[in-house]
Structure 1
Amino acid sequence: MIYRSRAPLRIGLAGGGTDVSPYCDTYGGAILNATISLYAKASIELLEDKKIILQALDRNEQETFEWNKSLPITGKLDLLKGVYNRIQKDFGFPKKGFQLSTYVDAPAGSGLGTSSTLVVAIIGAFVEMLKLPLGDYDIAHYAYDIERNDLNLAGGRQDQYAATFGGVNFMEFYEDDKVIVNPLRIRQEYLNELENNLLLYYTSTSRESAKIIVEQQKNVTQRNEKSIDAMHQLKAQSKMMKEALLKGRLNEIGEILDFGFQQKRNMAHNISNSLIEDIYIAAKQAGATGGKISGAGGGGFMIFYCPNNSCYKVADTLKKFGGVIHPYQFATQGLDAWTIG
């Protein structure tokens, strides 16, 4: 038997960073994001022997172990091991050999929530195989708990919930890990126009989000007013974005993105850099009305709102920076899993 799953990556449209503790625990956070047609995929195939084979096909990494209830966390394939260890601890696992294979459609450090989405996909495959009684909120929180507490990886909360639920969502974050996912009923013509005008650009650079996030957390703990005020403004931005999308005021999207770009710089060092600034200026000069860095910042993907068919000129202008325009569509389906007999 083979058990497969996939979960969509996401682009953040507003409020990025307000889902990170301790900010959201103290002030409450809010984010608006949308899942896209790039995926993290997981597949579990049962084996005749008692070996455990883990492989990340996109990274060309593989490890093989004798069957054990706990696999060593060594810095290699830790997301796969972390999920297995936690599933084994909480639910038990038959003493059967298996091969867990994963693939992600975007590189690590790209700012599209790859790590968290991969964890959700792996959990989905195990849930399918073991018929675990976990709903959407359970799976998303489970993924968050494994990453943040079991593996001690710095980060926020939005990615796990976006990957699990799918679609365009306004998310609220509170203390005690409370999260409320509000699916937005946006008219299809508004979504079509947003998809038409929103350019997804990979800078061909990656970044280590953990360092940026740790500094962001430190700024809140030490009550850095400039950083905290920036997060307040980004939380307000998410509400502006929600209203603009629901009411079809798409001509405001670029300005709202631009407002967020200016604020996000103040959250921590290295969110922006000279390359990102040059790309952003060039995109605006070519017709984009605003944009943002996807994820924590420092590199990875950027998005630009390009009205009036300016996306073609913007795309052509950005070629000189060595990045790649990435085609996509919005994805309405979240985590999905199935069995091959």
Structure 2
Amino acid sequence: MAEDFVPSPHPLTPPRSDEDWLCWVRLLRSRRVGAGTFHRLMAEHGTAEAALAALPEVARRAGVEDYTPCSRAEAEDELRRGHQAGARPLAFGAAEYPALLSLIPDAPPLLWALGRVELLARPMVALVGARNASSLGTRMARRLAAGLGEAGFVVVSGLARGIDAAAHGAALDHGTIAVMAGGVDVIYPAENAALAKEIAARGLRLSERPPGAKPVARHFPARNRIISGLARAVVVVEAAARSGSLITARDALDQGREVMAVPGHPFDARATGCNMLIRDGAGLVRGVQDVLEALEPALHPAAAGATTDADPTGREASREAALASSRHARVARTLAQPTAPPLAPAM
């Protein structure tokens, strides 16, 4: 829906009343309104109610006649389903909405959260990788997840089998967040039902989809941008050359996050994607200390940019920044290669 953009003089404010919530959900779930269009409409009209009222005319200007926004009954049903599942809606702009995620261009306007919402205020690292992971891969994922948790990080992943499940399980004692491609109450794959229950009790399940929504193939890449958007870094543990995990790594790069990978044996196809990333400049991960050292500048930016007795002019810091930029470009070229989309919601 393209038209001349005139920003609203009113800042975006999250819903406060029941009526605000209904309008917010109706706008978001209306046909042809995704995250980007939602933010554009809110920036122009100031409130979801005003944007809803303008939506049919906006659609008409875009060549869509007889446009009908999402009904009030549909929005009421989504809110009811969410509350029945024990989940909470988090709107973009709310105090509990994750700060880093709010900075990405297509940040979800609404997240359904089931579990410990306070985990969203802590620093996070994403661990992703192969579904058909090797025993060494799952062992490495568990070791990294446990070490990151002990260091104060929340581990984010996608509740898939393999690397995701291993990372979630090892991080339960310290905090883990599962970002789901379907509704926050729809467990996929079914084999992870017990783990999902544990995460809801001790961690957090998160989804931008309506409660009750079944995961479909096109939802997984969109889910991946949330995984990377929440995190300060994405660590890939086993990934084939055309793995969906590389989509998450590409999103992370686009969002300005650190991209790291665990190396693998060159004869193992599950390591090809990781080895390519490392070859082209992604951070090499031999253990949790490598991740913590890579994150140190982001956690203490003032110290990272300061001059020292050994580097009084800051030239060495500038050189490191240039090298980082070069590595960023090389990794970007690797991730720009075509990646096979999931054939079915098997993640």
**Structure-2-length-normalised TM-score:** 0.26
Q: Write 1 or 2 for the structure with the bigger share of helix.
A: 2
Q: Write 1 or 2 for the structure with the bigger share of strand.
A: 1
**Structure-1-length-normalised TM-score:** 0.26
Tell which structure's C-alpha radius of gyration is larger. 2
The higher relative CO (CA closer than 8 Å, separation ≥ 6) is in 1
